[in-house]
Chain A
Amino acid sequence: MPFDAAQLLPILPEIAILVTACLVLVVDLYLKERDKGINHGLTLIGLLVAMGLAGLVGGGERVLVLGDNVVRDTLGDVLKVFVLIVSFLAFVYGRPWLKDRGLLAGEFYVLGLFAVLGMLVMIAANSFLTLYLGLELLALSLYALVAFDRDSKAGSEAAMKYFVLGALGSGLLLYGISMIYGATGSIELGAVARAVSEHGIDNNILVFGIVFLVIGIGFKFGAVPFHMWVPDIYEGAPTPVVLFLGSAPKIAAFALGVRLLVDGMGGLHADWQGMLVILAVLSMAVGNLLAIAQTNIKRMLAYSTISHVGFLFLGLLAGSSQGYAAAMFYAIVYALTAAGAFGILTILSREGFDAEHLDDLKGLNDRDSWYAALMAILMFSMAGVPPTVGFMAKLLVLEAVVRVDLVWLAVVAVIFSIIGAFYYLRVVKLIYFDKPATDAPILASGGVRVAMTVNGLAVLLLGLFPATLLGLCQTAFG
């Protein structure tokens, strides 16, 4: 195949991130300890450039490049931009925490950037191979990030667990892929989809392969019963890392789900729908019920993530373009909200102190009423209370399942959302109704405050004016 430079055009955002990562890697060697902030600046610039490039090369018809291994479509454009935005926020929020602990090292940014690159590759993947490459790049970077604070026993333990279970999940996914390859003779998603529609549903190997694919996806999303790693990792990993791995990768996981199940296995929707129903109901049940029992807020948010994954699956399993758009809306909204919530936790931490327990939020309103208001907005959004965007996201997935006559599933979902409302309310209660346990000032630079404000208000304003984002999601699924 002759090389054509135009083929690289659609992957300019990925290239930009790769270049930034390499740049930070090299520049870091020459930086003195007090100049490490330059890494931070470079990373943010790289993310902004990638965002600009994604906007520039985005739009228009679906394009396949690099031997049909990579695709550029509206879905990818939108998801990439949001992955970059959320990662940008995560890096901004994380900086004071890292600086306080002397961890503001180049490695954090290099690993983070490689993780972003992995996510972008996943989103752009049009073959099992690209998808898997992106996934592993993301996963390996995250394993290392979780263990980033190497003096922390909890962090090392979490990294080990994450690695073992992540490898298991990847292995299952790969096993599924190999079966599908055996049944269809291709790893290119378009060819797989054609083969599926030709030989149809009766192929046992294919159906068996889907089972493993769904398990793999379940692992990566952290859906019940493949959720065991989530609470432990969230609890053990350093807060800025949780902030990073709890937000943007959900968008990438959504891309993984869509590329595999919809682009590849769309013809077998009837087979995977039932599996996702089980995963969704279990995730909503286990996530919401166990979250109530948590006293560690990172663990609580971990279970909350699990329950949100259940909601997200509702959109996917509906199997309609509205459903996919709803799930996409949900993934983006969740990533933004989670970034904000973990961001607040990161900001509340100080040198030698991590805000990890629910009680650490006590009386936040008396300490800083603006952060308190933002956190309350984020919590109400997670609970799905209007006028925040969390409500719109839930409304859209509920609409999608009712549209395909799964009214009972919608009823189950709202019942669990009532249960879920309790533990989010408890956070608001601690912020507003309790007296602060400490009067330590909240140290956060102006940039962090601005980013946090934008993030919190976005959650509110997207709830008041959801049409634009929803329109983007719907064009992605034509």
Chain B
Amino acid sequence: MEPGFPLLTLTIWLPILGGLAVIASGDKASAVSKWTALVFAVLTFLVSLGLWLGFDANSAEMQFVERVPWIPSFDVHYFLGVDGISMPLIVLTTFVTIFVIVAGWEVITYKPSHYMAAFLIMEGVMVGVFSALDAILFYVFWEAMLIPMFLIIGVWGGPNRVYATIKFFLYTFFGSVFMLVALIYLYFQANSFSILDFHGVQLGMTAQTLIFIAFLLAFAVKVPMFPVHTWLPDAHVEAPTGGSVILAAIMLKIGGYGFLRFSLPITPDASASLDWLIITLSLVAVIYIGFVALVQQDMKKLIAYSSIAHMGFVTLGFFILFAILQRSGSTTGAVMGIEGGMVQMISHGFISGALFLCVGVLYDRVHSRQIADYGGVIHTMPWFGAFLVYFAMANAGLPGTSGFVGEFMVILAAFRADFWFALLAATTLVLAAAFTLWMVKRVVYGEVKNDKVAKLQDLNGRETFNLGALAAAVLLFGLWPAPLVNVMHTTVENLVVQVSACKLPAGEASDCVLPRSAAVAAAAR
């Protein structure tokens, strides 16, 4: 842990400072503030590429570690670091933010500088969430994320924005405060706020279960899992395009990240005994929400429900590992499940972001998100039509796109756990194909529906850039997912080893479902 260049600090604070600069530049010369915002977004992305390039994929240790005391008397540190799980998510964040800035270029007319600034600040805070290794620092970033998003939806959102944004805020706030109590409790068990120290703490079954539930409340709301998903369709529908993109592409991933960073390694025994709950909820999300998506009239709502279904896949991939371990004892299967979930998260970041941008493109021209208002768009917007069909295919998990890789890995892993899990999970392929392709059919193909569609202009340069870049990413990771999987492989293997060891204290050893590892048993003595 040699003191190196503080790359993570730079990735967090560069966009936040950029955001403040953009606010300061004001709206009088809006070109200046927009270009400032874009320059900061691109710079941040380039800086974050340094994380990827400098990352040692053969190590499961935290890298780029920075640790300075923040509140010394309270043992809170400004403690940052990334591993193979968080690093790809950080790069995803900085990548997607660029498109959000570009997408808002002309569309936002009310205080555009504040709009851009909100997204830049949001970006820094989200990178902070992924890189914080101190529980309090994590919580600060986690909650701070709510403020810009609350304002983005509320100020630049649709007609029902106030309801949606307050619902969004209160739902997430509700989930996370219990996590705070759990984190404070863990502090007294570990005598440290370091998340890495939390991983080594021995906890009795009751404590583990309560902590697991507290974490579950926080992360399940964020993911969102059935039945606490109802804020998401509202928030998505009312949010401006950029807000929807960030929500779907990154904020949902933070819930999934939380399961990997907190729930599984801190409370493995509770996770093992309650995995049926998560698996059931995930399958309900995949199937039931899939059907709900099928009947949506509003394009954004449809994609929002599709996100919930896809995120069900992610949580399924994360939590089938106990079933795999018990059945076959094979860690490869467990690793594949988690990696599949991770790949699915990254890929869904690209695809859902792109789909929301597509809806934004249409909405900016026609000011309607209703599927019924469109038809035959391909005749007037051939390029757009091609992109939309491509992303829809990716959303349905077409081989060759990144959407396929993650789903395939999770289904493969699910087979090792239980045939029925795999069968039920695989229905998502059918359902996703049904709801996305049906939407595409109604919007893109057929006769030109009305005058508005007849007058549509095809994509302008900015929109082509946005969709083109995302399409390239989807194709790249669809054809060649190896770099992504390699980066996280060692970390995930390490995680599985950690999760598959019983952490109950010696007195409760008989309750262990998981084998007691030598290290933990030694710690118990």
* A residues neighboring B (CB under 8 Å): 365, 369, 380, 385-387, 391, 395-396, 398-399, 402-403, 407, 410-411, 414-415, 417-418, 421-422, 425-426, 428-429, 432-433, 466-467, 470-471, 474
Chain B contacts with A in 379-433, Cβ cutoff 8 A: none
Since A369-B114, A385-B173 are in contact, a sample of 6 more A-B pairs with Cβ atoms closer than 8 Å, ordered by chain A residue number, is A369-B111, A387-B144, A402-B181, A418-B174, A421-B169, A467-B73
- Complex: how many Å from CA A402 to CA B135? 16
Task: Please state if A470 and B74 are interface contacts (CB–CB under 8 Å).
Answer: yes
Give 29 CB contacts A-B under 8 Å. Answer: A385-B143, A385-B144, A385-B146, A385-B147, A395-B180, A398-B184, A399-B184, A402-B181, A403-B188, A410-B184, A411-B181, A414-B177, A415-B177, A417-B177, A418-B173, A418-B174, A421-B170, A422-B166, A425-B169, A426-B166, A428-B154, A429-B165, A429-B166, A432-B154, A433-B155, A467-B70, A467-B73, A470-B74, A471-B72
Give every chain B residue within 8 A of A402 (Cβ-Cβ): 181, 184-185, 188
Give every chain A residue within 8 A of B72 (Cβ-Cβ): 467, 471
Write the nearest CB–CB distance from A229 to chain B, whole angstroms. 31
- Complex: how many Å from CA A349 to CA B367? 40
Chain B contacts with A in 102-116, Cβ cutoff 8 A: 111, 114
Say which residue of B73, B74, B139, B184 sits within 8 Å of A386 (CB atoms): B139
Write the nearest CB–CB distance from B137 to chain A, whole angstroms. 10
- Complex: how many Å from CA A399 to CA B185? 8
- A391-B140 contact in complex given A402-B181, A417-B177, A425-B150, C-beta closer than 8 Å: yes
Chain B residue nearest to A326 (CB atoms) is B74
* CB of B161 closer than 8 Å to a CB of A: yes
Task: Please state if A433 and B140 are interface contacts (CB–CB under 8 Å).
Answer: no
Write the nearest CB–CB distance from A109 to chain B, whole angstroms. 38
Name which of B70, B161, B177, B184 has the most chain A CB atoms within 10 A of its CB: B177
- A407-B185 contact in complex given A425-B150, A428-B150, A429-B154, C-beta closer than 8 Å: yes
Give every chain B residue within 8 A of A426 (Cβ-Cβ): 166
Task: Please state if A421 and B173 are interface contacts (CB–CB under 8 Å).
Answer: yes
Task: Please state if A414 and B143 are interface contacts (CB–CB under 8 Å).
Answer: no
Task: Please state if B187 and A386 are interface contacts (CB–CB under 8 Å).
Answer: no
Give every chain B residue within 8 A of A391 (Cβ-Cβ): 140, 143
Say which residue of A385, A387, A414, A422 sits within 8 Å of B181 (CB atoms): A414
Give every chain A residue within 8 A of B174 (Cβ-Cβ): 418
Task: Please state if B177 and A433 are interface contacts (CB–CB under 8 Å).
Answer: no
Write the nearest CB–CB distance from B117 to chain A, whole angstroms. 11
The proximity string for B residues 181-192 relative to A, scoring 1 for CB distances below 8 Å and 0 otherwise, is 100110110000
- Complex: how many Å from CA A391 to CA B140? 8
Give every chain A residue within 8 A of B473 (Cβ-Cβ): none
Give every chain B residue within 8 A of A399 (Cβ-Cβ): 74, 184, 187
- Complex: how many Å from CA A369 to CA B27? 12
Chain B residue nearest to A463 (CB atoms) is B140
Give every chain B residue within 8 A of A385 (Cβ-Cβ): 143-144, 146-147, 173
Give every chain B residue within 8 A of A418 (Cβ-Cβ): 170, 173-174, 177
Task: Please state if B181 and A398 are interface contacts (CB–CB under 8 Å).
Answer: yes
A-B contact count (CB 8 A): 87
Task: Please state if A414 and B170 are interface contacts (CB–CB under 8 Å).
Answer: no
* CB of B151 closer than 8 Å to a CB of A: yes
Chain A residue nearest to B179 (CB atoms) is A414
- Complex: how many Å from CA A398 to CA B139? 14
Give every chain A residue within 8 A of B184 (Cβ-Cβ): 395, 398-399, 402, 410
Give every chain B residue within 8 A of A471 (Cβ-Cβ): 72-73
Q: Shortest 9 CB-CB distances between A and B: which pairs?
A: A414-B177, A386-B140, A433-B154, A386-B143, A402-B184, A467-B71, A410-B181, A386-B144, A418-B174
Give every chain A residue within 8 A of B141 (Cβ-Cβ): 386
* CB of B178 closer than 8 Å to a CB of A: yes
Write the nearest CB–CB distance from A121 to chain B, whole angstroms. 30
Write the nearest CB–CB distance from B146 to chain A, whole angstroms. 7
Write the nearest CB–CB distance from A329 to chain B, whole angstroms. 11
Write the nearest CB–CB distance from B141 to chain A, whole angstroms. 8
* CB of B162 closer than 8 Å to a CB of A: yes
- A433-B170 contact in complex given A399-B74, A417-B177, A467-B73, C-beta closer than 8 Å: no
* B residues neighboring A (CB under 8 Å): 69-74, 111, 114, 136, 139-144, 146-147, 150-151, 154-155, 161-162, 165-166, 169-170, 173-174, 177-178, 180-181, 184-185, 187-188
Task: Please state if B143 and A433 are interface contacts (CB–CB under 8 Å).
Answer: no
Chain A residue nearest to B169 (CB atoms) is A425
- Complex: how many Å from CA A432 to CA B72? 37
Give every chain A residue within 8 A of B178 (Cβ-Cβ): 411, 414
Give every chain A residue within 8 A of B144 (Cβ-Cβ): 385-387
- Complex: how many Å from CA A4 to CA B424? 88
Write the nearest CB–CB distance from A324 to chain B, whole angstroms. 14
- Complex: how many Å from CA A418 to CA B169? 10
- Complex: how many Å from CA A426 to CA B69? 36
- Complex: how many Å from CA A385 to CA B187? 20
- A474-B177 contact in complex given A399-B187, A421-B169, C-beta closer than 8 Å: no
- A433-B73 contact in complex given A386-B140, A407-B181, C-beta closer than 8 Å: no
- Complex: how many Å from CA A87 to CA B69? 33
Chain B residue nearest to A386 (CB atoms) is B140
Give every chain B residue within 8 A of A428 (Cβ-Cβ): 150-151, 154
- Complex: how many Å from CA A380 to CA B178? 18
Write the nearest CB–CB distance from A100 to chain B, whole angstroms. 30
Write the nearest CB–CB distance from A464 to chain B, whole angstroms. 9
Task: Please state if A398 and B188 are interface contacts (CB–CB under 8 Å).
Answer: no
Write the nearest CB–CB distance from B506 to chain A, whole angstroms. 22
Task: Please state if A470 and B73 are interface contacts (CB–CB under 8 Å).
Answer: yes
Give every chain A residue within 8 A of B155 (Cβ-Cβ): 365, 432-433
Chain A residue nearest to B210 (CB atoms) is A407
Write the nearest CB–CB distance from B129 to chain A, whole angstroms. 11
Give every chain A residue within 8 A of B142 (Cβ-Cβ): 386
Write the nearest CB–CB distance from B336 to chain A, whole angstroms. 37
- Complex: how many Å from CA A472 to CA B210? 35
Task: Please state if A387 and B185 are interface contacts (CB–CB under 8 Å).
Answer: no
- Complex: how many Å from CA A365 to CA B174? 27
- Complex: how many Å from CA A318 to CA B291? 51
- Complex: how many Å from CA A422 to CA B69? 33
Give every chain B residue within 8 A of A395 (Cβ-Cβ): 136, 180, 184
Name which of B70, B71, B114, B151 has the most chain A CB atoms within 10 A of its CB: B71
- Complex: how many Å from CA A415 to CA B217? 13
Say which residue of B139, B161, B180 sits within 8 Å of A433 (CB atoms): B161
Give every chain A residue within 8 A of B136 (Cβ-Cβ): 395
Give every chain B residue within 8 A of A474 (Cβ-Cβ): 73
Write the nearest CB–CB distance from A419 to chain B, whole angstroms. 9
Give every chain A residue within 8 A of B69 (Cβ-Cβ): 467
Chain A residue nearest to B145 (CB atoms) is A386
- Complex: how many Å from CA A369 to CA B178? 34
- Complex: how many Å from CA A391 to CA B71? 14
Name which of A415, A418, A426 has the most chain B CB atoms within 10 A of its CB: A418
Chain B residue nearest to A365 (CB atoms) is B155
Task: Please state if A429 and B162 are interface contacts (CB–CB under 8 Å).
Answer: yes
Write the nearest CB–CB distance from B339 to chain A, whole angstroms. 32
- Complex: how many Å from CA A398 to CA B183? 11
Write the nearest CB–CB distance from A377 to chain B, whole angstroms. 9
- Complex: how many Å from CA A193 to CA B74? 29
- Complex: how many Å from CA A385 to CA B151? 14
- Complex: how many Å from CA A395 to CA B185? 12
- Complex: how many Å from CA A214 to CA B58? 62
- Complex: how many Å from CA A298 to CA B198? 44
Write the nearest CB–CB distance from A123 to chain B, whole angstroms. 23
Write the nearest CB–CB distance from B280 to chain A, whole angstroms. 26
Give every chain B residue within 8 A of A422 (Cβ-Cβ): 166, 170
Give every chain B residue within 8 A of A415 (Cβ-Cβ): 177
Write the nearest CB–CB distance from A187 to chain B, whole angstroms. 35
Task: Please state if A380 and B166 are interface contacts (CB–CB under 8 Å).
Answer: no
Chain A residue nearest to B186 (CB atoms) is A402
- Complex: how many Å from CA A385 to CA B143? 6
- Complex: how many Å from CA A157 to CA B224? 52
- Complex: how many Å from CA A385 to CA B170? 12
Name which of B69, B111, B154 has the most chain A CB atoms within 10 A of its CB: B154
